[in-house]
């Protein structure tokens, strides 16, 4: 058994194929989708000056075949393990604690709170984490939502609003600013009126480097009022992997002044319709907290839940 640090130049296709095979064997998100790996590398890792999550991907190989990997996502760690190699989990957690700590913020006393995400359906992981002193945070959980493509949906929008796909709307600055304002409603305030989003589009531009980009698409709802300078109401980007016939939605955002009017639901219905056209079998989105009700209302069902398991590691117990 060999443990290797991920190298994007030599290992991307191999790790992508491993994740795709795990999905096709399990038919669920107990392993990451290859699309999520691309989102991590080509989008999320461009957001800040913090250590890149992709620099802390580690792969376990048996006879040059990947049988498991550590997949960090910001300040949390996930493990993907091939069936038959479940006994690796505890040693992978230990390895992550030793080698992924730079991703976590230090407290004033030098300690860190290490976070491992584990699927509830993989009960052995919960047991091992508890034995190692981890506690599941009841208010912090994630859901893997899936929309089986058998679901029939329609696009229902108020008069004066329209659903379009990215290739039908060319102002990339408006798209990205609407996405950001959906997460940061305060940016709609007057004091930010001169903020230039085009200088803050690193993630948007980097995403185009993904080999999946040409098969992927944007979906948005626009306000047809000609007086609206930025008329994008809701925005999302959908990675598509034709080989696994799956899609992964990242991100979903609706600006505050357009909420509770059916914009987000209509946009997701547009995603479902486009995925059917592209012969996608299942379309996934990860959620947490109250957002679950939103995705359920749009036709998505909960496939699995995932808990955040926390353990405080004191300074004297670390190599930091």
* One domain, residues 217 and 252: yes
Does some domain include residue 295?
no
Q: Sheet of 232-241: strands edge to edge?
A: 2-5, 58-62, 65-72, 77-81, 112-119, 301-313, 135-148, 282-288, 246-254, 232-241, 217-223, 161-165
pLDDT at 24: 96
Q: What is the DSSP secondary-structure string of the chain? A: -EEEE--HHHHHHHHHHHHHHHHHHHSSTTS--HHHHHHHHHTGGGS-SSPPGGGG-EEEEETTEEEEEEEE-SS-EEEEE-TT-GGGHHHHHHHHHHHSGGGSPBPTTS-EEEEEEEETT-HHHHHHHHHTT-EEEEEEEEEEEEEETT--------TTEEEEEGGG---HHHHHHHHHHHH-GGGGSGGGTT--GGGS-HHHHHGGGSTTGGG-EEEEEEE--TT-SS-EEEEEEEEEETTTTEEEEEEEEE-GGGTTTTHHHHHHHHHHHHHHHTT-SEEEEEEETTHHHHHHHTT-EEEEEEEEEEEEE-GGGS--
Average pLDDT over residues 22-38: 94
pLDDT, average across residues 268-295: 92
Is 286 part of any domain? no
What CATH code is carried by the domain that includes residue 226?
3.40.630.30
Same domain for 114 and 191? no
- pTM assigned to the model: 0.93
**Same structural domain for residues 128 and 48?**
yes
Task: Give the chain's count of helices (H) and strands (E).
Answer: 8, 12
pLDDT at residue 320, as a whole number:
42
Position 296 in a domain? no
Query: Is 263 contained in some domain?
Result: yes
Q: Are residues 202 and 229 in the same domain?
A: yes
pLDDT tens-digit series, residues 32-72:
999 999 999 999 898 766 789 999 999 999 999 999 999 99
Is the domain of 232 the same as that of 105? no
Domain contains 135 = yes
Average pLDDT over the chain, rounded to an integer: 92
Does the pLDDT of residue 255 top 80, yes or no? yes
Same domain as 180, residue 273: yes
User: Are 128 and 201 in the same domain?
Assistant: no
Beta-sheet pairing, 301-313 with 282-288: unpaired
Does residue 15 have a pLDDT over 70? yes
Quick one: 221 and 311 in the same domain?
A: no
Quote the CA–CA distance of 101 and 56 in Å, as a whole number. 9
Query: Distance between CA 71 and CA 73 in Å, rounded?
Result: 7
- Contact predicate 278/165, CB 8 Å: no
**Residues 95, 178 within the same domain:** no
Q: Do 127 and 250 fall within a single domain? A: no
Q: Which residue has the higher pLDDT, 298 or 316?
A: 298
Which range marks the domain in which residue 60 is found?
2-143+306-317
How many distinct structural domains can be found in the chain? 2
pLDDT value for 86: 97
For residues 139 and 6, state if they share a domain: yes
125, 256: one domain: no
Q: Which of 54-58, 96-100, 143-147 has the lowest mean pLDDT?
A: 143-147
In tens, the pLDDT along 101-138 reads: 999 998 988 899 999 999 999 999 999 999 999 999 87
Does residue 230 contact residue 176 with C-beta atoms inside 8 Å?
no
């Amino acid at each position: 058994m060999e443990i290797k640090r991920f190298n994007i130049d030599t290992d991307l296709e191999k790790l992508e194929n491993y994740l795709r095979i795990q999905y096709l064997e399990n038919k669920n998100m107990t392993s990451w989708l290859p699309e999520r790996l691309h989102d991590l590398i080509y989008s999320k890792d461009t957001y800040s000056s913090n250590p890149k999550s992709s620099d802390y991907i580690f792969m376990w190989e048996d006879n040059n075949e990947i049988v498991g990997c550590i997949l960090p996502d910001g300040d949390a760690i996930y493990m993907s393990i091939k069936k038959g190699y479940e006994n690796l989990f505890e040693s992978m957690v230990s390895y992550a604690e030793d080698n992924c700590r730079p991703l976590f913020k230090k407290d004033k006393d030098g300690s860190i709170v290490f976070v491992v995400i584990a699927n509830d359906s993989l009960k052995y992981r919960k047991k091992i984490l508890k034995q190692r002193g981890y506690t599941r945070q009841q208010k912090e959980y994630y859901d893997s939502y899936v929309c089986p493509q058998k679901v029939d949906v329609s696009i229902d929008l108020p008069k004066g609003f329209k659903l379009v796909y990215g290739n039908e709307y060319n102002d990339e600055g408006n798209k990205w600013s609407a996405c950001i304002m959906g997460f940061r409603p305060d940016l709609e305030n007057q004091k930010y009126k001169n903020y230039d989003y085009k200088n803050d589009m690193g993630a948007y531009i980097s995403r185009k480097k993904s080999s999946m980009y040409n098969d992927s698409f944007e979906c948005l709802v626009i306000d047809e009022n000609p007086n609206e300078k930025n008329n994008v109401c809701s925005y999302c980007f959908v990675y598509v992997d034709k080989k696994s016939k799956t899609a992964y939605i990242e991100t979903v955002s609706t600006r505050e002044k357009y909420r509770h009017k059916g914009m987000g639901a209509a946009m997701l219905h547009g995603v479902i319709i486009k995925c059917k056209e592209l012969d996608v079998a299942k379309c996934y989105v990860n959620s947490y907290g109250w957002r679950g009700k939103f995705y359920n209302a749009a036709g998505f069902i909960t496939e699995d839940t995932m808990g955040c398991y926390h353990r405080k590691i004191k300074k004297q117990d670390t190599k930091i």
